[in-house]
Amino acid sequence: MSRIRVGGIKVVENRAYLYSSCRSGADLLGNICSILAGGRINMGLLTHVADDGLGESITAASARSALSFSGYMLEVVGSGSCKTTEIENDISRISIFPHEQRPEITASLITVLGAAAIKPHGFASSPSAVTVAVSSSDFDIAMERLFDSFAFPSCGSYSQWQAVCRMDERQLSEVKCSYNEQIVTIYGFTRQTGLYLWDVSLPLECMSGFGAFLSELGELGFKLPFLISNSAPGANGIHFSFALGEDRRERAGQTFDKHLPGRDSFCRGPVSVLFLHGPHFGDRYGIADTFVTALRNGGIPILALSCAVSSISAVIAGNDPDKAIEVLNTRFQTPGANSR
């Protein structure tokens, strides 16, 4: 089978991963973002779904070490508001880019992990990349299998990546900077409307069926503008939230039933996805907190969110995101553009 050609792969190793599940309606996302921003802690990955279709809100984040989450852990344990809050001390994040909203890219990544019996802690998507968090003990086998399935121009094999590219990533991980902006400078916003948000909870043994579902969506010409997933440490299940076009909802449902017969999916819409683009999110703490706080103060609920690589993607209700962008323009600015 021929390998899928993509632009590149980026890896961040030996990080901590927080998984937290609360009753739907709890301000889990805001708490995590504000506490980490207050501690000047950078988040390399953040995902959130306000309601997984089963009455729970799930938020996950990755940062440099478990100590990064100590303030949040003290708060949630003291309040008793969360059903599950756990930390994995040693995970690695693998990002493949660009995916160009092609479902088959994510499908191949899911299939690779499933074939190797690797449990992903979570997936996150951005306009440019799809990111997966895996236990560092599974990292080597995951990378070997990825190089068997994907063709990367900079490194032709996993052994070559180990010898050359891995060194580059480690050097880059030592780059540090700080910032102090009242109005945060970004590249800009984009939007996508006319979507429906799907929520699916599956046992891990059904992950290959979900990969086959996404693969067929790719063959049918679907685009996948948003996808996240989370799996609680030690659990045998995984939850996916993803957005697909409203106009092809019936066809997507038929394809889902074909590959995952008897499994429930929860679908709501119409929704829109807002994309906020860089730069250097990995070196600038508080970006997600500014984004989440602005929308919350503007009375705009976030249905789901993904922060990965250098972008934030947020799912909001309706087909008219102008109000949300107007609210965000009070806290973010694009060079050469006037804030409203």
User: Residue 25 — left, alpha, or beta (φ > 0 → left; ψ -120 to 50 → alpha)?
Assistant: left
**Alpha-carbon span 129 to 310, nearest angstrom:** 9
Q: Which CATH architecture has domain 184-223+243-333?
A: 2-Layer Sandwich (3.30)
> Residue-wise over 9-47: b if at least 16 C-beta within 10 A, else e?
bbbbeebbbbbbbbeeebbbbbbbbbbbbebebbbbbbb
Q: What average pLDDT does the structure give for the chain?
A: 88
- Angle at CA 161, nearest 5°, toward 157 and 167? 175
Rounded Cα distance between 134 and 52, Å, is 22
H or E segment to which residue 215 belongs: helix 207-219
Q: What is the pLDDT of residue 340?
A: 40
| Averaged pLDDT for residues 228-257 | 95
Partners of residue 149 on adjacent β-strands = none
The answer to whether the CB of 129 falls within 8 A of the CB of 11 is no
* Residues 170-198 pLDDT 10s: 444 444 444 566 788 888 899 999 999 99
Task: For the chain, give the percent of residues with pLDDT over 70.
Answer: 89
| The pLDDT value given to residue 337 | 62
CATH superfamily of 4-173: VC0802-like (3.30.2130.10)
The yes-or-no verdict on residue 77 having pLDDT over 60 is no
- Specify the range with the lowest mean pLDDT, choosing from 57-66, 74-83, 135-144: 74-83
Over residues 295-317, the mean pLDDT reads 93
The reply to whether 184-223+243-333 shares the fold of 4-173 is yes
Span 33-62, mean pLDDT? 90
What residue type is assigned to position 141 of the chain? I
| The pLDDT of residue 316 | 98
Please confirm whether the linkage preceding 120 is cis (ω < 30° from 0).
no
Pairing of strands 45-49, 304-308: antiparallel
Q: Show me where the domains of the chain are located.
A: 4-173, 184-223+243-333
pLDDT classification of 65: cutoffs 50, 70, 90: confident
Q: 3-class DSSP state for residue 168?
A: helix
